Each structure stands twice: as C-alpha cells, then as structure tokens.
Amino acid sequence: MSEPTSRPRLGRGLSALLGDDGEDYQELDKARPARELPIEQLHPGRFQPRMNFDEAELKSLVDSIREKGILQPILVRRDPVQDDLYEIIAGERRWRAAQRAQLHEVPVIVRELDDQAALEVALIENIQRADLSPIEEAEGYQRLMDHFEHTQDALAKAIGKSRSHIANILRLLTLPEEVREMVDRGELTAGHARALVGREDAVALARQIAADGMTVRDIENRVSKSSKSRGGKKKSSAKSTDTLALERDLSDVLGLKVSINPKGGENSGRGVLAIEFSSFDQLDDVLRRLNRPIDA
C-alpha cells in the first residue's frame, strides 16, 4: 500500500508536529492554543504502546506537577464514539500524575488524527523520550505493520528509524514469553535479548543472566562454546563465515530468523533457505518483498 504524500514524516518531524516542550506546542498550534479540560474527560488512548509505568518516575512527576504544574500540554483527539470525551495520544503519564496530584483540569491540545497517525505519534513520542522497553517498542512496530499494512521499509521511513533497527528489534518478539517479560521488567537488556534470539535454551540462559549478572559478552561466549561442544568438529565446520554473514544480512532485511543450510558441502552451490515467521502478516510481508520488481 502506497503511503499518502501528505502524511508527515513523523520520525524526523515529530518535534515540529508535537514539540519538545510546552513552548513548541504553543508555536505548533497558535490557531488552537492549549486549553484546559476537566481531567475526567480524558482517557488513555487505545494505541498507547507503553504498558508499564515506573512507580518512582511517576511519583517524581507528581511532586513536580504539585510544585510547577503541567508544563507541557497533553496531546489528545476527540473520542471517536463519545463527543464529550478525549483520547490521550501523548502524555498519559502526565495525566496519571495529574490525577495523583489532585488536579481538576489539565492543559491539552486537540488534534484531528486518524488511527494510523494516532498510533505513530504515540509510538514515536514514547521512543524519543526513551519511555518504552525494547519489547513494547517492538510490539508497537508490529501493530503498525499488522493494522496499517506497513512494510519494514515504509515503517522505517515513517518513524525515522533505520530498517536494520526495525528488523533487529522485531526479532525480539520471537523470544519465549518468559524472556520477553524479563526484558519488560528490566531484568534483561535489549543486548541480552538479541543474544538469546533463536536459542532453544533461551529461558534457562535468561534466568542465569538475571541471577548471575552476566554481560552480553559473557552470553555470546557461552553460546559460542555451547554450540561447539554440542556440534563437535562437524557442527562447527558446517557453515562458513560467509554463510553466517549471509544469514545475518537476510535476517536484518526481513526482520525474521533466517537459516542457510548447505547440502553437499559449502562449495556445492546447493542448500536450503529457511525463514521463520510467527504470523501470516510477517509471511505476507516476505512475499510482498519477493514479488517486488527488481528496479523498484
């Protein structure tokens, strides 16, 4: 699906669209400056990618709001169903903190945004503020791809990230649920998680990382030694450096785990290419790429 030419490049232009502080918001919408709305007329957005709110950070924001008020307006759109309510697009944490600070009204800017723009803005606003865990970020990207038929290339352009970043972080969604939850809780870093992608013993390794405080380098060394000990000489010599590099390149392009298994030796020119996917939407994305004209 082609992207409308009128849609803004949200990744590069988010500060122009949203502003990085309250003053930018005001510059953004002089014709529709921030206004006060009763706090009960706002509700969390259904496209909010953030699932977890750090309690210590929230408490700190409550203290700041009590002392200085809300410095940056909350970005909202009218609720599609109830005209007297407003859906939060960016600023749910401020709204939660304002409730704890017992504010009766909050400053808002009302924008007309469709569902796709609402999800894009909510996702990028959180990413730019480093508010999302790697898993939440990946799930936000996957929602954009699933609901709005974004390819990884189109998604990268829309949010101002590299395609390889999109591909690498989407691979985290192939991890077992327990490992993803550990990343969400901050027990594992994104680097740890990437080292576990595709591992059958990912859960056991993840638990050991959390218990022993292992570094990413420790994990990589452990995985390398484990592979050699299990496979012996035959296993370690099964794939050349070039084949492994091709696997990594294809995985980065597709955002999915790719295996190249030579048949009859590395120089035979024969083999099997395996692409792992976890949804038919991911498979459709691969098929669209394969059917794309070479000069496109």
- Catalytic amino acids? 92
- Among residues 39, 120, 122, the alpha carbon closest in space to that of 75 is found at 122
Max Cα distance, the chain (Å): 73
CA separation for the pair 269, 85 (Å, rounded): 63
Give me 78's structure tokens. 């009218």
Contact 166, 130 (CB under 8 A): no
Contact 251, 197 (CB under 8 A): no
Neighbours of 190 (CB within 10 A): 17
DSSP code string of 227-255:
HHHHHHHHHHTSS-HHHHHHHHHHHHHHT
Neighbours of 246 (CB within 10 A): 15
CA separation for the pair 14, 216 (Å, rounded): 33
CA separation for the pair 231, 223 (Å, rounded): 12
Handedness of CA 228, 233, 238, 242 (dihedral sign): positive
